[in-house]
Amino acid sequence: MTRHDADACHDDDHVLEDAALLEDQQQDDDGDREAVAAVSGWGISLALHAIIFLLLAFVIIAGRLIDEPIPVRPAIIEPPPPPPVEQEKERELTEVDVTIVAEVEVETPIVTQLDVEVEELETEDNEISEVAEARGREEAVSSSETGGSGAFMTIGASGGASGAFGNRQGGGKRRALGAFGGSRASEAAVDAALRWFARHQSPNGMWDVTGYPDNCTLPGPKCEPGTDRTGPDGDAAATGYAVLAFLGAGYDHRTPNQFRRTVQQGLDWLVANQLQSGGWGRDRNYENGICAMAVAEAFAMTNDPALREPAQRAIDHLLARQIDAGGNYGGLGWDYTTSNNRNDSSVSGWVIMALKSAEAGGLDIGSGMEGAREYLRRAWNATNNNGRDIADMYTDRSGFPYTWNSQTDAINRPDRTAIGLCIGVFLGKGQGNVMMETMANDVMHRAFVSRDPRYQVQSWPVDTYYLYYNTLGMFQVGGERWQQWNGAVRDLLVENQRRSDDCFDGSWDFEGTMFHGHRIGRLVSTAYCALSLQVYYRYQPLAPAH
């Protein structure tokens, strides 16, 4: 091989090497381009997905913004203050939680919105009284006509130690209010009335018919003095009424409570001013019955030995004046004084209630209640033709007389059905009794159909005397009649009680109340209204009577 050939071969080798290098470089470039292409594809894909996601998010958020309007803070323009308006004082009601459980069976339950406990108030001192077993003894059932079932209940026929007055305090009071239609407003009205009485008590413990306004220290106008029965009779009756109002709400003179001293002073005055005979004032049986009831009831509630003798003396005096029956009953009804034949229903009503309170305290009442039952039967028969004209006792009506002559059988004013109904309850007459059913029908007819001015309860003023008797009687009747009665009376009394910051606060006006003694004044009208609002718990709802 020549040099030239050798050089040529060497050049060929270089060419081959260069070609190989170019081929390798080309392959490297192709690989780089493929890698770049792959990376670019993933990036584009990710970018596209991100854009789509952002678009979807924008659509969703925008939709929500459309659905939910942007809150705008409005400009508040305060109106000018209204001119001052004089408003009636609202009675303060204490909010207390309580569960009311009714322990009595009622044929037609009464629905009530009562959901509060009776206001618990501070006491005057910490002395603990010995009042166990004294809130109406079981002796009160000894002559009661009990048995059967129904809504009529015999006053004082309770089982257990609580007796006739067991519903006046604590859980018994709350349950009775809930079961029979009381309310927070009715209890506030009772409390306001008791505060009114406490403000107007004289320093010596009495309630003075003419001088009571002078005892109130509140500023402003004063209550008006009474203009009728001024003197010993009116003062004794007014004091008895007031004490009964406190006792009816469960405030006695021995159990620590805010009115203890008030009740003690009232009882002290009654005892100090009792006549040697056992009466009060001018010794009329009307005032004697009221005062005897107050003293006997206080004794029954507390078993205070200091009251036993005055209470028994008052009862003995009334029994001695019971009209002679001329037969086996010992007596009949009562008149204002000693009488041979005039049986007055107004007087007899108070005396019978006094005897029932005495019976509840275990005092000796002799055969007084047996004679009173005979009076009720004979006076009703004389008024209603012995019941011969009654075809249906659940629809027909009967009356009761103002006076009945036990010698001639003559009657006067057979429109005192309210008193007859109440007397019947206290004497043990009950549901299914012709006398009681028809008298209850008469009360309802006079009150809601004919709207007799003495019986109507739709508008104020009402006859507060009839109101008291009717409310006691209709409460014991129960059922739909009681619901209708209570639905009208309770709120009528609450709405027409005086509310103010002066002397009148807590009282009821007496003008137009028609009761023949209403001009004794605000003391009497307030007593009758307060006693009527205490009907839910004043007497134990007891075993039904025949």
Q: What is the average pLDDT across 65-92? A: 50
- Determine if residue 280 is left, alpha or beta; phi over 0 gives left, psi from -120 to 50 gives alpha, anything else beta: beta
Task: Give the closest residue to 377 by CA, choosing from 359, 400, 402.
Answer: 400
Task: Give the closest residue to 121 by CA, choosing from 290, 256, 246.
Answer: 256
34 is written with which tokens?
């493929």
pLDDT at 133 over 60: no
Q: What is the average pLDDT across 449-469? A: 97
Contact 540, 163 (CB under 8 A): yes
Report which of residues 211 and 518 the model is more confident about: 211
pLDDT at 234 over 90: yes
38 SS3 class: helix
The whole-number pLDDT of residue 98 equals 36
A 10 A CB-CB count for 138 gives 18
Tell how many helices (H) and how many strands (E) occur in the chain. Answer: 15, 3
The whole-number pLDDT of residue 118 equals 38
Dist. CA 113–CA 111, nearest whole Å: 7
What does 110-173 look like in DSSP terms, one character per residue?
PP----BPPPP---S--PPP--TT-SS-GGGGTT--B-S-SS-B-TT--SSSSGGGTTSSHHHH
Place of tokens 């009772």: 190
Dist. CA 146–CA 140, nearest whole Å: 12
Dist. CA 404–CA 342, nearest whole Å: 6
pLDDT at 137 over 50: no
Dist. CA 104–CA 176, nearest whole Å: 9
The whole-number pLDDT of residue 135 equals 44
Contact 469, 426 (CB under 8 A): no
The whole-number pLDDT of residue 43 equals 56
The whole-number pLDDT of residue 92 equals 60
88 is written with which tokens?
């009636």
The whole-number pLDDT of residue 385 equals 97
A 10 A CB-CB count for 391 gives 7
Residues 6+ apart with CB under 8 A from 522: 223, 224, 226, 504, 507, 508, 509, 510
Helix axes 434-444, 368-383, angle to 10 degrees: 60
What does 67-98 look like in DSSP terms, one character per residue?
HSPPP--PPP-PPPPPPP---PPPPP----B-
Place of tokens 């001018």: 282
Q: What is the average pLDDT across 329-347? A: 91
CA distances, 320 to each of 314, 323, 521 (Å): 10, 9, 32
Instruction: Compute φ and ψ for 116, nearest 5 degrees.
Output: -130, 155
Domains of the chain as residue ranges with CATH: 138-538 (1.50.10.20)
pLDDT at 12 over 50: no
pLDDT at 281 over 90: yes
The whole-number pLDDT of residue 330 equals 75
The whole-number pLDDT of residue 82 equals 55
Given CA atoms 42, 43, 46, 49 in this order, what sign does their dihedral have? negative
Contact 217, 184 (CB under 8 A): no
Give the strands of the sheet with 342-344, arranged side by side. 342-344, 403-405, 411-412
75 is written with which tokens?
């400009």
Dist. CA 18–CA 23, nearest whole Å: 8
Choose the weakest-confidence range: 10-24, 229-243, 357-371, 410-424: 10-24
A 10 A CB-CB count for 397 gives 18
Dist. CA 281–CA 520, nearest whole Å: 15
Give the model confidence (pLDDT) of 472-491 as tens digits.
999 988 899 999 999 999 99
192 is written with which tokens?
């306001």
pTM as predicted: 0.75
Contact 345, 330 (CB under 8 A): no
Dist. CA 264–CA 278, nearest whole Å: 19
CA distances, 82 to each of 66, 79, 89, 283 (Å): 41, 8, 19, 60
